[in-house]
């Protein structure tokens, strides 16, 4: 074979399938700094059919390259295994989280279902874990079996984030009936320490399916080991347990031995260099006798185990028929002990299983020292990790390690004594200095361990080793008067309190969601009523018309308000006055009204959303400049760079793009659309981008004016679900009653130029409002009776009204403290007759028609120059049909209606209908249906030869005000035009109603009237609507347009809603309505 062919074959084997469906670039040493450098790799990914596994280990990938790779992965729904270890070598740590976020978002958008994820040796720190947080919580990881995060520098904070993500993943997957079944977990050399290990232990306990756990070299002491031991008992299939080079001490070892008794499937145990000590070794020997029937390997090397305990372990393995290796090297057994141990193993014919033994490993600590020192070992280990580089354990020279451990315990004890002494002298000290330098822990970790790490008077990283030794003789022991037992009890209580604080911090992480505006306003959070808005007696006029007169605006922080009332009464005006701060809004409350579409330019939609957070952009730019200075050797920039890192972490900068893409995806933007320039979108889609910006920013008070008007049903379902979890204050104007019912906690009713407040959702408000109207009618009737009696008694009309007003004023002021302003007011106005706003829609019932009345047969259709929308469609209806057509924007719902009405002609196939069929079609594009030059009355008279009065009566029945009957149609509002169209439909006496988004611009009362009219109508009904209540109230069967066809959905609207949300990786919110 020619050398050239050999080279080609070698290259092919290097980068193509190692297994079926696997594409490998492993170890090629590629430096992919930008998208251009990754072009070839991206091309191969895109062209690789049925991609199931992707290996990128051993290459250097930058943010831009990662984003390019991510884009290629967005269409790889079959991807299951991602081997991405050692992929960011040489990159700045700040670059890694956004790269991971992009890759994770791509996997979610693709609908991938991962079974293996390897991100080892990437050293991305806690922020890197945040980069994959959304991925781990999503449906993409519900099927995860193997998770490898070895040597990633996660720290305590990263461990907590990881634990929270796995817990949430298990919860969400369990809700779907397919709980997370993780089998292999590898996270060595991550400095998880006790808090990180404890958090992960909670997740392990829930998961219950682990078969391999590898967590060596994590600085875990006995509290963390104990938590893991308890959790692992809930994983009965555990086969491999590797906790090498952590510090068990006897308590941790005993806890782990107790767990091992319950684990019958364990084959490999690695507790080497874990200081299990003699008591722990004896407990493990007991576990060997009582359980572990199929054990193959046991490593208890460098554990400070005495000869007696080592012999007990050796004797305990006598009947372990599958044992292949026993390692007791480096323990305190001496030369004679080594000989005795070999003899025991030889006598059991297992001598070849015993590893090498060193015969002079020093003496173990005496029992008294261990009794007192063991309580301090965890603190000792944590301080060592914070203040010194991690030691490289030398397993050959164990005497040196023992000596260092003893010195550190002594120093730690002295440090604790000095802290307690200082605390006793000054109980009022509440603030502690902050450490300098780049933090390696998360904020939660720093808060939890701050008191343990720092002395009251130090501002540096801590004293040098020599200074610690010099200070060992200072200060008195605060526990001097306590017995040994009392000391242990006291320190156990301190440890318990510290762990409680750690758990609180973990809860904060799980619910953490950081925003720049909230950061700005938090400094003034202690000001009275700063978070609430309370404006009394304000008035607003527009064009000489009074909209609000002496109204009160009361908005409580964290509540979600629905502002309702008749159209044209000032709801939008109120929102604009709040947004413009024409009203006296507290300065620390940032307000945002989503009303204008984004500018049409070359900015991609996702970048238009991200650019809304100007603080994040400024920090990222400053970070870039500071990094450039550091690269030029200007070390002074380092301190400021650390502060910038902290600020970026506080506002959740690493997760910003994933959050933006999640919102855009929820609003029906495909991955391609998210990267499309805004100038290529229509006005309605740019309005969606504006809505996404508002949701991304999370202002203190977000105001939305008819947010569902520009959305399709799928987007409305997502927005409804998303806002139910909104943590800030929300003020919504909407005609969608279902939306108001699900989202709102309070209703603000605009009535008679005042605002009235009702606790609960819209349904609750309706019940209370009806009751209020009855009470007002009762009071009005009482007032009218009194006026009649006064007039009958000889009073004039004017005198009677004045007396009634005075009585009403006294009643209103009774029990209320008067102000000078109130006393100066004129007497109250007489009560007016309560007006009941009612709308009644009616459609005349048609005569019976023989089925089928209307249908499409083998229809193909597509607009010229575009991809076909429909292929071989068969669809028909009869007189009893009640159908709602659903699906995302752009799939052809409105086109299907136009095909059924005959306004479009199929490219293949035909539309068939009963020759007597009359169709009533409501087109959401009014201009296509109405003559804009006529007034409504003229329009009906001309089309249906109706008398003048009958035309006006028909218009009035559909809620069109009398003054609008004679106004040119072009000058009517959207809602008024819609009523004219409904009046026209009624006059046509149709056999089938085909309605395309009929609720746009209708108020809630009119939508209720439309639903009632449809339910009373005996003909067929076909609807496209984003109004969930109209769909459910009319009992429509759901048909979904997808994959160039239309099919009936099995199940009701709630099931469809759940399917939509699950497809987006969202969780269905079941929030109780108030």
| Averaged pLDDT, 60-77 | 89
Q: Is there a contact between 1049 and 1040 (Cβ–Cβ < 8 Å)?
A: yes
Q: How confident is the model at residue 812 (pLDDT cuts 50, 70, 90)?
A: low
What's the confidence (pLDDT) of residue 477?
A: 54
Of the two residues 1030 and 794, the one the predictor is more confident about is 1030
| pLDDT tens for each residue of 872-914 | 999 999 999 999 999 888 889 989 999 999 999 999 999 999 9
Q: How confident is the model at residue 388 (pLDDT cuts 50, 70, 90)?
A: very low
| pLDDT tens for each residue of 716-748 | 999 999 999 999 999 999 989 999 999 999 999
Cα of first residue to Cα of last residue in the chain, in angstroms, is 79
| pLDDT tens for each residue of 458-505 | 334 343 333 333 334 434 455 556 666 666 666 666 665 555 454 444
d(CA 953, CA 54): 70
Q: Mean pLDDT across the chain, nearest whole number? A: 80
What's the confidence (pLDDT) of residue 380?
A: 45
Does the structure show a pLDDT above 50 at 168?
A: yes
Of the two residues 894 and 829, the one the predictor is more confident about is 894
| Averaged pLDDT, 27-43 | 86
d(CA 24, CA 817): 80
Q: Is there a contact between 994 and 898 (Cβ–Cβ < 8 Å)?
A: no
Does the structure show a pLDDT above 70 at 798?
A: yes
| Averaged pLDDT, 779-806 | 83
Of the two residues 422 and 949, the one the predictor is more confident about is 949
How many C-beta atoms surround the C-beta of residue 431 within 10 A? 6
Does the structure show a pLDDT above 60 at 90?
A: no
Q: What tokens appear for 628 in the block?
A: 């450039």
What's the confidence (pLDDT) of residue 96?
A: 84
What's the confidence (pLDDT) of residue 441?
A: 39
What's the confidence (pLDDT) of residue 497?
A: 57
What's the confidence (pLDDT) of residue 584?
A: 84
Q: What is the DSSP string of 225-264?
A: HHHHHHHHTT-TT--EEE-TT---HHHHHHHHHHHHHH-T
d(CA 562, CA 950): 38
Does the structure show a pLDDT above 70 at 835?
A: yes
Q: How confident is the model at residue 437 (pLDDT cuts 50, 70, 90)?
A: very low
d(CA 147, CA 120): 9
| pLDDT tens for each residue of 690-719 | 999 999 989 999 999 989 888 889 999 999
What's the confidence (pLDDT) of residue 927?
A: 58
d(CA 830, CA 111): 64
In 3D space, the residue among 383, 343, 324, 334 whose CA is nearest the CA of residue 363 turns out to be 334
261 three-class SS: helix
| Averaged pLDDT, 428-450 | 38
What's the confidence (pLDDT) of residue 838?
A: 75
| Stated pTM of the model | 0.51
Question: Treating both helix axes as pointing N-terminal to C-terminal, what angle do 377-387 and 443-453 enclose, rounded to 10 degrees?
Answer: 110
Instruction: Say which range, 183-197, 396-410, 902-916, 943-957, has the weakest mean pLDDT.
Output: 396-410
Instruction: Say which range, 591-600, 633-642, 735-744, 818-827, has the weakest mean pLDDT.
Output: 818-827
Q: Alpha helix (H) ranges present in 737-869? A: 737-743, 762-792, 797-813, 820-824
What's the confidence (pLDDT) of residue 492?
A: 61
- Residue 627, CB-side half-sphere exposure with 13 Å CA sphere: 13
What's the confidence (pLDDT) of residue 74?
A: 87
Q: Tokens 């209320």, residue?
A: 816
What's the confidence (pLDDT) of residue 18?
A: 56
Does the structure show a pLDDT above 60 at 447?
A: no
Q: How confident is the model at residue 512 (pLDDT cuts 50, 70, 90)?
A: very low
Q: Is there a contact between 127 and 98 (Cβ–Cβ < 8 Å)?
A: no
| Averaged pLDDT, 421-426 | 41
What's the confidence (pLDDT) of residue 422?
A: 40
What's the confidence (pLDDT) of residue 20?
A: 77
| pLDDT tens for each residue of 972-1014 | 877 788 889 999 999 999 999 999 989 887 888 888 899 999 9
d(CA 192, CA 676): 41
């Amino acid at each position: 074979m020619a050398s050239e062919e050999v080279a080609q074959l070698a290259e092919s084997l290097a980068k193509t399938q190692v297994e079926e469906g696997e594409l490998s670039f492993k170890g090629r040493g590629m430096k992919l700094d930008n998208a251009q450098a990754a072009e070839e790799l991206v091309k191969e990914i895109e062209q690789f059919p049925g991609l199931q596994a992707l290996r990128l280990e051993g290459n250097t990938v930058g943010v831009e390259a990662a984003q390019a790779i991510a884009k290629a992965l967005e269409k790889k729904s079959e991807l299951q295994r991602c081997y991405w270890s050692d992929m960011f070598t040489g990159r700045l740590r700040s670059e890694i989280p956004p790269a991971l976020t992009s890759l994770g978002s791509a996997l979610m958008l693709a609908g991938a279902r991962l079974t293996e994820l390897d991100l080892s040796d990437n050293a991305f720190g806690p922020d890197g874990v945040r980069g994959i947080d959304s991925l781990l919580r999503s449906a993409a990881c519900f099927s995860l079996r193997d998770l490898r995060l070895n040597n990633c520098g996660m720290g305590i904070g990263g461990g907590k984030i990881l634990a929270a993500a796995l817990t949430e993943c298990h919860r969400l997957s369990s809700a779907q009936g397919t709980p997370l079944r993780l089998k292999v977990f590898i996270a060595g050399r991550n400095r998880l320490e006790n808090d990180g290990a404890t958090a992960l232990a909670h997740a392990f306990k829930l998961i219950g399916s682990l078969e391999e756990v590898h967590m060596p070299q994590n600085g875990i002491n006995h509290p963390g080991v104990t938590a893991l031991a308890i959790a692992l008992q809930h994983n009965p299939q555990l086969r491999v347990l590797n906790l090498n080079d952590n510090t068990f001490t006897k308590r941790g070892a005993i806890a782990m031995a107790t767990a091992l008794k319950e684990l019958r499937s364990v084959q490999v145990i690695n507790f080497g260099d874990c200081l299990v000590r003699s008591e722990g070794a004896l407990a493990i020997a007991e576990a060997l006798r009582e359980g572990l029937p199929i054990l193959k390997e046991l490593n208890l090397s460098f554990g400070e185990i005495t000869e007696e305990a080592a012999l007990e372990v050796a004797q305990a393995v006598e009947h372990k028929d599958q044992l292949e290796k026993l390692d007791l090297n480096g323990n305190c057994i001496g030369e004679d002990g080594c000989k005795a141990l070999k003899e025991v193993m030889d006598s059991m014919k297992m001598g070849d299983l015993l590893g090498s033994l060193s015969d002079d490993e020093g003496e173990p600590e005496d029992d008294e020292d261990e009794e007192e020192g063991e309580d301090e070992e965890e603190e000792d280990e944590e301080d060592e990790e914070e203040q010194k580089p991690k030691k490289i354990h030398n397993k050959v020279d164990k005497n040196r390690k023992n000596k260092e451990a003893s010195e550190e315990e002594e120093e730690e004890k002295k440090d604790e004594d000095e802290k307690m002494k200082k605390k006793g002298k000054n109980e009022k000290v509440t603030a502690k200095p902050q450490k300098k330098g780049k933090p390696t822990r998360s904020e939660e970790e720093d808060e939890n361990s701050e008191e343990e790490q720092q002395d009251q008077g130090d501002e540096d990283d801590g004293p040098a080793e020599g200074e610690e030794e010099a200070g060992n003789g200072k200060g008195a022991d605060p526990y001097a008067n306590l017995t040994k037992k009392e000391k242990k009890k006291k320190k156990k209580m301190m440890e318990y309190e510290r762990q409680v604080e750690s758990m609180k911090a973990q809860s904060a992480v799980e619910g953490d969601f950081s925003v720049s505006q909230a950061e700005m306003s938090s400094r003034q959070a202690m000001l009275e009523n700063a978070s609430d808005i309370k404006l009394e007696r304000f008035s607003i006029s527009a064009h000489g018309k009074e909209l609000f007169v002496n109204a009160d605006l009361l908005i409580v922080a964290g509540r979600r308000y629905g502002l309702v009332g008749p159209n044209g009464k000032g709801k939008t005006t109120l929102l604009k006055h709040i947004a413009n701060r024409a009203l006296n809004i507290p300065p620390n409350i940032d307000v945002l009204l989503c009303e204008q579409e984004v500018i049409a330019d070359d900015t991609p939609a996702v970048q238009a959303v991200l650019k809304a957070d100007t603080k994040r952009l400024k920090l990222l730019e400053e970070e870039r400049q500071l990094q450039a200075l550091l690269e030029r050797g200007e070390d002074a920039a380092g301190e400021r760079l650390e502060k910038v890192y902290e600020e970026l972490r506080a506002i959740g900068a690493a997760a910003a793009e994933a959050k933006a893409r999640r919102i855009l995806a929820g609003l029906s933007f495909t991955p391609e659309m998210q990267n499309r320039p805004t100038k290529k979108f229509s006005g309605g889609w740019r309005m969606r981008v504006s809505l996404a910006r508002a949701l991304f920013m999370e202002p203190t008070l977000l105001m939305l004016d008819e947010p569902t008007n520009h959305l399709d049903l799928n987007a409305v379902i997502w927005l409804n679900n998303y806002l139910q979890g909104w943590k800030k204050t929300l003020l919504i104007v909407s005609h969608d009653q279902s939306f108001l019912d699900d989202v709102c906690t309070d209703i603000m009713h605009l009535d008679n130029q005042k605002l009235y407040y009702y606790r609960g959702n819209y349904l609750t408000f309706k019940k209370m409002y009806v009751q209020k109207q009855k009470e007002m009618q009762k009071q009005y009737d009482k007032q009218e009776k009194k006026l009649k009696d006064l007039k009958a008694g000889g009073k004039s009309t004017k005198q009677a009204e004045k007396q009634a007003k005075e009585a009403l004023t006294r009643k209103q002021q009774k029990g209320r403290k008067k102000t000078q302003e109130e006393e100066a007011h004129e007497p109250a106005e007489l009560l007016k007759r309560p007006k009941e706003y009612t709308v009644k829609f009616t459609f005349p019932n048609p005569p019976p028609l023989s089925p089928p009345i209307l249908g499409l047969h083998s229809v193909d259709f597509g607009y010229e120059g575009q991809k076909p929308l429909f292929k071989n469609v068969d669809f028909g209806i009869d007189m009893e049909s009640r159908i709602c057509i659903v699906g995302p924007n752009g799939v052809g719902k409105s086109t299907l209606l136009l095909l059924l009405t005959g306004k479009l002609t199929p490219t293949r196939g035909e539309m068939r209908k009963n020759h007597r069929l009359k169709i009533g079609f409501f087109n959401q594009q009014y201009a296509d249906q109405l003559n804009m030059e006529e007034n409504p009355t003229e329009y009906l008279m001309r089309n249906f030869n109706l008398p003048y009065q009958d035309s006006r009566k028909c218009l009035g029945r559909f809620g069109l005000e009398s003054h609008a009957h004679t106004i040119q149609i072009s000058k009517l509002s959207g809602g008024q035009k819609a009523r004219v169209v409904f009046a026209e439909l009624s006059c046509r006496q149709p056999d089938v109603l085909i309605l395309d988004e009929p609720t746009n611009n209708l108020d809630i009362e009119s939508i209720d009237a439309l639903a009632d009219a449809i339910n009373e109508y005996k003909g067929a009904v076909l609807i496209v609507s984003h109004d969930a209540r109209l769909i459910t109230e009319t009992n429509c069967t759901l048909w979904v347009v997808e994959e160039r066809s239309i099919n009936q959905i099995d199940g009701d609207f709630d099931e469809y809603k759940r399917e939509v949300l699950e497809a987006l990786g969202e969780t269905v919110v079941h929030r109780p309505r108030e």
